[in-house]
Amino acid sequence: MSAVVVQPYTLLDDDECESRILRARQALGERLVILGHHYQRDEIFQHADFTGDSLKLSRQAAASKADYIVFCGVHFMAEVADILSRPEQVSILPDLAAGCAMADMANLSNVERAWRELASVLDPDAQITPVTYINSAADLKGFCGSHGGIVCTSTNARHVLDWCFERREKVLFFPDQHLGRNTAYTMGIPLEEMAIWDFDLPMGGLSVEQIKNAKMILWKGFCSVHQMFQPEQIDDFLARYPETKVIAHPESPFEVCQKSDYVGSTEYIIKTIAEAEANTRWLVATELNLVNRLAEQYRPEGKQVHFMSPSVCMCSTMFRIDPQHLAWVLENLVEGHVVNQVSVAAETAEKARLALQRMLEVSP
Domain ranges of the chain: 7-99+317-344, 103-224, 226-307
* CATH architecture assignment, domain 226-307: 3-Layer(aba) Sandwich (3.40)
Closest CA to 320 of 78, 25, 139: 78
Residue 158 burial (C-beta neighbours within 10 Å; 0-12, 13-18, 19+): middle
Q: In this predicted structure, what is the pLDDT of residue 319?
A: 77
294-305 pLDDT per residue, tens? 999 999 999 999
Is the peptide bond prior to 175 cis by the omega test (within 30 degrees of 0)?
yes
Closest CA to 198 of 222, 226, 223: 222
Question: Which CATH homologous superfamily contains domain 7-99+317-344?
Answer: NadA-like (3.40.50.10800)
Q: In this predicted structure, what is the pLDDT of residue 2?
A: 47
pTM of the model: 0.92
Closest CA to 79 of 63, 51, 103: 103
DSSP string, 183-200: HHHHTT--GGGEEEE-TT
Q: In this predicted structure, what is the pLDDT of residue 7?
A: 62
Q: Given this chain, do its domains 7-99+317-344 and 103-224 carry the same CATH topology?
A: yes
H-helix or E-strand spanning residue 160:
helix 157-165
Q: Which residues of the chain have pLDDT under 50?
A: 1-2
44-85 pLDDT per residue, tens? 999 999 998 888 999 999 999 999 999 999 999 999 999 999
Q: d(Cα 165, Cα 360) in Å, to the nearest integer?
A: 17
Percent of the chain with pLDDT over 70: 97
CATH 3.40.50 is the classification of domain 103-224 = yes
Which is it for strands 90-92 and 281-285: parallel, antiparallel or unpaired?
A: unpaired
Q: Please state, in angstroms and as integers, the Cα–Cα distance from residue 185 to each residue in 49, 279, 326, following that order.
A: 37, 32, 41
Q: d(Cα 269, Cα 283) in Å, to the nearest integer?
A: 11
Check the CA dihedral 137-138-142-148 and report its sign. positive
Q: In this predicted structure, what is the pLDDT of residue 45?
A: 93
Instruction: Compute how many other C-beta atoms are within 10 angstroms of the C-beta atom of residue 279.
Output: 10
